[in-house]
């Protein structure tokens, strides 16, 4: 995501530099300046600096903030573009504000394709920092794909709800595929999803990704084990605490758990679409499973 945003920024004549633990030759070959130390990274940027973090949620965000803040000046802006828990973002904003740094929680959607050609940003934070970062975010967003959602934490909360809706939609489409595959008719599923992408009530990117996945990979070679990093689990817990019924989203999480136990057409469909929009792996992934356990700091 971060690399694709950097490439998009270059094309739009936005000065960009990346800080990584190691060199990124694939980005450097395309013109992105990449450094491995904070000093040249910060020196490259004009004040007030606008810095976008593309990191896995959890302690890594705090580690990088603690390392980075020593090199920053009052009025600089740091955005967390990952899927952090919104209460963690509220805590981080308070901590950064005491050091004179604007901290924005920047929910980012659109997958790898969106990051490359026009993303969707949901930004929470105080207006001072938002005004500094907003011109860059609007430039990198698809048309009407930028919104300032309000106070600190609101951007990541809105993105969390977005991810819950996404889970429900994925499950519904997957169940539809199960019905189509078991219908007894000789159906061309790719052609059907192409049809549904044009004028139907359920048209949309996930339907388009389902058609693309069916044509490029098919269903038979897809594992039905679906990994996730656990964000929607937080949403379900939050809803329980607030006594807000979300049966569809809750059930979609239960179905995800079931995907790790049984082979099923619906789960294969979900895996196919998730791979299409986010490059999520097919089958089990130990690193993602670990992230599910460590990516939230604050308790609900």
CATH of the domain at 100: 3.40.50.720
pLDDT value of residue 300: 66
Task: Output 35 or 221, whichever has higher pLDDT.
Answer: 35
Residue 262 confidence (pLDDT) above 90: no
Q: How far apart are CA 248 and CA 232, in angstroms?
A: 12
Tell me which residue of 231, 230, 218 sits closest to 269, measured CA to CA: 218
Domain count, the chain: 2
Question: Could you report the per-residue pLDDT of 270-299, keeping only the tens digit for each?
Answer: 888 888 888 888 888 888 888 877 887 876
Reduced 3-state DSSP string for 189-235: HHHHHHHHCCCCCCCCHHHHHHHHHHHHCCCCCCCCCCCCCCHHHHH
Question: Could you report the per-residue pLDDT of 63-111, keeping only the tens digit for each?
Answer: 999 999 999 999 999 999 999 999 999 999 999 999 999 999 999 999 8
- Tell me if residue 104 falls in helix, strand or coil: strand
Q: Are residues 83 and 184 in the same domain?
A: no
Share of the chain above pLDDT 90, in %: 73
Q: Which residues are the active-site residues? A: 159, 166
212-241 burial string, b = 16+ CB within 10 Å, else e? bbbeebebeebebbbbbbbbbbbbbebbee
Note the pTM of the prediction, 2 decimals: 0.88
CATH of the domain at 237: 1.10.1040.10
Radius of gyration, CA atoms only, the chain? 20
Last residue of a domain, one of 133, 151, 169: 151
* Residue 122 lies inside a defined structural domain of this protein: yes
* Residue 300 lies inside a defined structural domain of this protein: no
> Residue 103 belongs to what domain range?
2-151
* Residue 228 lies inside a defined structural domain of this protein: yes
């Amino acid at each position: 995501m971060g690399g694709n945003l950097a490439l998009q920024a270059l094309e739009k004549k936005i000065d960009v530099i990346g800080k990584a633990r190691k060199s990124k030759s694939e980005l450097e070959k395309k013109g992105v300046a990449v450094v491995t130390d904070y000093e040249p990274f910060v020196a490259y940027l004009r004040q007030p600096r606008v810095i976008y973090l593309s990191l896995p949620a959890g302690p890594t965000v705090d580690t990088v903030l603690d390392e980075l803040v020593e090199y920053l000046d009052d009025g600089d802006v740091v955005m967390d573009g990952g899927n952090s828990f919104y209460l963690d973002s509220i805590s981080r904003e308070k901590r950064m504000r005491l050091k004179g740094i604007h901290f924005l929680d920047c929910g980012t959607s659109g997958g790898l394709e969106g990051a490359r050609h026009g993303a969707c940003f949901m930004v929470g934070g105080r207006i001072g920092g938002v005004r500094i970062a907003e011109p860059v975010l609007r430039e990198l967003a698809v048309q009407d794909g930028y919104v300032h959602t309000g106070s600190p934490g609101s951007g990541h909360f809105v993105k969390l709800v977005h991810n819950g809706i996404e889970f429900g939609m994925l499950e519904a489409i997957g169940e539809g595929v199960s019905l189509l595959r078991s219908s007894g008719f000789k159906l061309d599923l790719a052609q059907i999803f192409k049809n549904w992408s044009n004028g139907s009530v359920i048209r949309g990117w996930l339907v388009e990704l389902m058609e693309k996945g069916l044509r490029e990979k098919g269903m038979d070679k897809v594992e039905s084990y679906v990994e996730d990093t656990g964000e929607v689990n937080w949403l379900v817990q939050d809803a329980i605490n607030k006594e807000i019924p979300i049966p569809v989203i809750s059930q979609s999480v239960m179905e995800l758990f079931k995907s790790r136990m049984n082979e099923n057409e619906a789960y294969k469909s979900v895996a196919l679409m998730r791979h299409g929009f986010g490059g999520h792996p097919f089958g089990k992934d130990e690193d993602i499973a670990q992230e599910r356990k460590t990516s939230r700091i604050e308790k609900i």
